[in-house]
Structure 1
Amino acid sequence: MGMPSPLPVRDGVGATRLHVPLTGPWPTIADYMVERFFHLEPELLRVRFDRGEIVDIDARAVPRDAPLGSVEFVWYYREPPVESVIPFEIEVLHRDDDLVVVDKPHFLPTTPGGKFLQNSALVRLRNLLDNPDLAPIHRLDRATAGLLMFSARPATRGAYQLLFETRRVQKTYEAVSARPEGWDPERPALAGHPLPLVYRTHIDKHRGELRVRVDDEREPNSETLIELIRADDRVVHTLLRPHSGKMHQLRVHLSALGAGILNDPFYPELRPEAPDDFARPMQLLARELSFTDPLSGEDRVFTTRRRLQDAPAGDAAETPAGD
């Protein structure tokens, strides 16, 4: 269990916890935070101490002259950023005492971060369902749409989290890619590998880097089964079944096979940061989640109601031949 917050959830947003060094060159906790958050105006940060907005584990206000070492953790509410509204709604597909399953739109992050606070799936859902205990069991990239599961209460959260940690949730995705050069409809293949195919590689995430790295010299730690749903003269529509859950795994795997996902801003090339183009969402969709419920023993299957806008004409939910 994580360290409980002494501050309640406010407007769907939990307080931020900060670990403060017990020793160092800073005379006070406020001095440490001024250096830690160098991008903020120092006096405005010190005023937050005076207003009692920085508290310890017992919810007692930490004064601006509190010496370093007197408190190891502090909590505070983030100052809300000026947010651009994400003009798409989150849809609740299932709700019971323990579990909430939603259909997340493209562009909406799973949790607050950076310039998104109220415009996150977690905060929107907490406010919509009036449940401050909601917490995500897994995550989707902001650019990815589809199924997302939340725990509704702490008492049973661990049982559902363990499903993902032990890979007992079967996840299925769809993606749309530009048709690769040399595509043969009679012998569909990616980078010379006939479909369906299992692709494996080693993926690493380095601190401070937006993209993951692929190391072809190391033992694979990621695996995806890739199947063809449909193709036309523009695009290839694939079904993806990841056996592992590495960051950006599906995006990296398709890019490595010459079939980068349409409108992916990271792969194969990192594009300059730009405002969201809501007319061109990345064509990746979390389509299905299936698992045995750890509480009831019931087999559960959840399926998205969303469709990828650039998928070929036809039934996007059809099952690949031979599945």
Structure 2
Amino acid sequence: MLSIKYGNCKDYTPPMIEGVSASKVFLPQSAIQPYTVFEYLCEHFQHIQITEWQQRFEDQLILDMQGHALTVNSIYQANTHIYYYRFLAHEIHVPFDEKIIFENDDLLVVDKPHFLTMSPTGQYVQQTLLVRLKRTTDNPNLTPIHRLDRETAGVVLFSKRPETRGIYQQMFADRLVEKTYHAIAPFRPDLTFPQSVHLRMEKGEPFYTMQVIAGKNNSHTEIEILEHNEHWAKYCLKPLTGKQHQLRVHLNYLNIPIKNDPFYPSVIHKPEHDFSQPLQLLAKEINFKDPISLRPMHFCSDLDLTL
């Protein structure tokens, strides 16, 4: 059982446990009121097995507003809230390490490895970049300012303080950040580079993929070749927009899908413990003027892709 120090104040903030922050759930007033908190959670989160909720109560991972551990028999109190922690009984270890490459009062800049999901979701909690970093830095306020796909490696920025987080997020929203990616994909001598790719992208099928459709363009990438051999080329990609899977979709549209891409041109379901063929896409560099210090900032991944 995990040991937690409980508070008793009205503005209680639950502590991190092994890098995991507590989730907050409001208990609403309803016509058919559940008798216990346990009943409500089982009904409200039906995708989570009842036995898993039972285990969380047993491990004292469900807390009231004051930080007191609840039990499966704790009475449901409408118009209050509770906290709960999420841990997985079995989680696949990602055998690659992240590296902190810069840190100041506001920012943490990290070199993310392939196969590491950014934040807790689905079958990953401890084996996510955010939880690993929270555990390493003991900073519960860490928040990604932008994101990389699980399959993509490279430079990513985290906010360390809520007070300045919005300033950096706005910098990305205003497209004041220059990002440079490298990718390994087939070499096609009939294609001319450099070139600009402008496409309209929308959600595809399956829902976690994107597709190109007719209509007004909403994605733009500048592409050039850095080097090539007879079969493969190393491409430099500069996205001017930030659509999901944009670089992967744009290269696939040119009929040069990124090497080892499990989604494009078709979805390939690989075992979760198979780390043998990382997607050959790397967030290599990031440049911006710091909105607080006004100094130019440039960060480069220590990782590299080779033909």
Same fold by TM-score, threshold 0.5 exceeded?
A: yes
Shift of 1:47: 6.6
Cα distance, 1:162–1:79 mapped onto 2, change above 3 Å? same
The 5-angstrom pairing of residues 22-41 of structure 1 reads 22-23=29-30, 25=32, 27-28=34-35, 29-41=37-49
Shift of 1:136: 1.2
The aligned counterpart of 1:232 is 229
Per-residue CA distance 1:69-99 (angstroms, 9 max, x = gap)? 443x432001334122211111111111111
The 5-angstrom pairing of residues 119-268 of structure 1 reads 119-179=127-187, 183-184=188-189, 189=191, 194-205=192-203, 209-216=207-214, 218-268=215-265
- Per the normalisation by structure 1, the TM-score is 0.82
Cα distance, 1:48–1:86 mapped onto 2, change above 3 Å? closer
Cα distance, 1:58–1:178 mapped onto 2, change above 3 Å? same
Q: In structure 2, how many angstroms separate the alpha carbons of the residues matched to 1:47 and 1:228?
A: 53
Checking the alignment, whether the CA contact within 8 Å between 1:108 and 1:121 is kept in structure 2 is yes
- Aligned amino acid, residue 12 of structure 1: G
Across the two proteins, how many residue pairs are aligned to each other? Answer: 295
The aligned counterpart of 1:83 is 91
Q: In structure 2, how many angstroms separate the alpha carbons of the residues matched to 1:287 and 1:47?
A: 42
Per-residue CA distance 1:80-132 (angstroms, 9 max, x = gap)? 34122211111111111111111111111111222222221112222222322
Cα distance, 1:141–1:41 mapped onto 2, change above 3 Å? closer
- Aligned amino acid, residue 13 of structure 1: V
- Aligned amino acid, residue 251 of structure 1: R
Q: In structure 1, how many angstroms separate the alpha carbons of the residues matched to 2:155 and 2:88?
A: 27
Cα distance, 1:58–1:287 mapped onto 2, change above 3 Å? same
Shift of 1:154: 1.8
The aligned counterpart of 1:11 is 18
- Verify: 1:269 aligned to 2:248, yes or no: no
- Aligned amino acid, residue 11 of structure 1: E
Secondary structure of 2:62's partner?
A: coil
Checking the alignment, whether the CA contact within 8 Å between 2:86 and 2:125 is kept in structure 1 is no
Moved more, 207-216 or 277-286: 207-216
The aligned counterpart of 1:319 is none
The aligned counterpart of 2:6 is none
Per-residue CA distance 1:150-190 (angstroms, 9 max, x = gap)? 112222212111111111111110111123xxx32xxx51x
Per-residue CA distance 1:206-231 (angstroms, 9 max, x = gap)? 79822123322x21111111111111
Q: Aligned-pair RMSD on alpha carbons?
A: 2.6
Shift of 1:135: 1.5
Shift of 1:51: 7.0
The aligned counterpart of 1:317 is none
Secondary structure of 1:202's partner?
A: strand
Q: In structure 2, how many angstroms separate the alpha carbons of the residues matched to 1:14 and 1:205?
A: 30
Cα distance, 1:46–1:90 mapped onto 2, change above 3 Å? closer
Q: In structure 2, how many angstroms separate the alpha carbons of the residues matched to 1:47 and 1:112?
A: 19
Shift of 1:44: 5.4
Shift of 1:22: 3.9
Shift of 1:303: 0.9
Cα distance, 1:239–1:39 mapped onto 2, change above 3 Å? same
Secondary structure of 2:169's partner?
A: helix
Q: Aligned match of 1:112 in 112, 120, 140?
A: 120
Cα distance, 1:225–1:156 mapped onto 2, change above 3 Å? same
Q: Can you give the 5+ residue segments of structure 1 that lack an aligned partner in the other structure?
A: 313-323
Shift of 1:40: 4.0
Cα distance, 1:206–1:251 mapped onto 2, change above 3 Å? closer
Checking the alignment, whether the CA contact within 8 Å between 1:26 and 1:68 is kept in structure 2 is no
Q: In structure 2, how many angstroms separate the alpha carbons of the residues matched to 1:68 and 1:166?
A: 43
- Aligned amino acid, residue 266 of structure 1: F
Runs (4+) off by over 6 Å:
none
- Aligned amino acid, residue 298 of structure 2: V
Q: In structure 2, how many angstroms separate the alpha carbons of the residues matched to 1:5 and 1:82?
A: 30
Checking the alignment, whether the CA contact within 8 Å between 1:15 and 1:75 is kept in structure 2 is yes
Q: In structure 2, how many angstroms separate the alpha carbons of the residues matched to 1:207 and 1:53?
A: 37
Checking the alignment, whether the CA contact within 8 Å between 2:92 and 2:272 is kept in structure 1 is no
Q: In structure 1, how many angstroms separate the alpha carbons of the residues matched to 2:12 and 2:248?
A: 36
- Per the normalisation by structure 2, the TM-score is 0.86
